[in-house]
Amino acid sequence: MTISKPTLSVILITKNEAHNVIKCLDSVRWVDEIIVLDSGSTDNTVELCKQYTPHVFITDWPGFGPQKNRALDKATSDWVLAMDADEFLSPELSEKIQKTIADPRAKNVYKIKRITKFCGKYLYYGDWKSDYPLRLFRRNTARFKEVPIHESLIVEGEIGKIKEIMWHDSFASLEEIINKMNKYSTLSAINFKAEGKSAGILKAFFRGLWTFLRGYIFKFGFLDGKYGFLLAIANAEGCFYKYIKLSLLENKQDQ
């Protein structure tokens, strides 16, 4: 009896990612299926994606979790690799993924080592030192949490770890970092409020302080030089602002 080779789908959500998406899609040309959900790009992201796959869909924007679940629902392969448009696979990772899904003893879900670029420099320490997001899974064993931001995977079964690298070319400039910090802290505050969480200025201050100390001191962010310091500051600010914004949302509701 002939055993069929396991198939792999990549799922990707996009909006105005023309500057990133070619490198991403080039790194996964070998997969069986690429699913792209675009939420209204005004650049040529959609046209570029159509050069790699016929499965490009234009949708509204319901939030990160719901959008990734929409993409997941369109996948048809045995396995799914979830990516962002500013990520790409190293050749070693591509080879490792193919070997992993072909192994009959493979686990249902895998974390993948990710290294992120910050202001033009890849960082190896700090809060991103142990960055292993859940990305590779058997299609029917995982689903994204239905939240607007920080859409973690809800998984079934034992989780494995892949040490070959997924590169993440994000945070190209300080302006981009500040804009993302503002956007994400607002979304986090709204999500916290929906979950019934509360905050005040002291909680915001001490959470922000701990975030800085954790990344810069305890996770050796100082070994990345000035960029490690900038990352620790940015993460601390983002943490501070999301709790302050939550407090302001609570005050607004009480008025």
pLDDT band for 1, please (50, 70, 90 cuts): very low
Residue of 49 and 170 predicted with greater confidence: 49
Q: Is the CB of residue 166 less than 8 Å from the CB of residue 84?
A: no
The owner of tokens 């960082």 is 123
- Domain chopping of the chain, boundaries: 8-168, 174-254
Fold of the 8-168 domain:
Spore Coat Polysaccharide Biosynthesis Protein SpsA; Chain A (3.90.550)
Classify strands 109-118 and 87-89 as parallel, antiparallel or unpaired.
unpaired
pLDDT in tens, 163-200: 999 999 988 888 888 998 999 899 899 889 888 898 99
The pTM of this model reads 0.89
pLDDT in tens, 204-218: 999 999 999 999 999
What percent of the chain is predicted at pLDDT more than 90?
82
Is the model's pLDDT at 15 over the cut of 80? Answer: yes
Residue 255: the pLDDT is 56
The Cα–Cα gap between 172 and 247 comes to 30
**DSSP character at residue 131:** -
The number of beta carbons lying within 10 Å of the beta carbon of residue 252 is 8
Residue 71: the pLDDT is 98
Q: Is the CB of residue 111 less than 8 Å from the CB of residue 161?
A: yes
**DSSP character at residue 130:** T
| Choice among 8-12, 14-18, 40-44, 171-175 with the minimum mean pLDDT | 171-175
pLDDT in tens, 106-153: 999 999 999 999 999 999 999 999 899 999 999 999 999 998 888 899
The Cα–Cα gap between 144 and 71 comes to 10
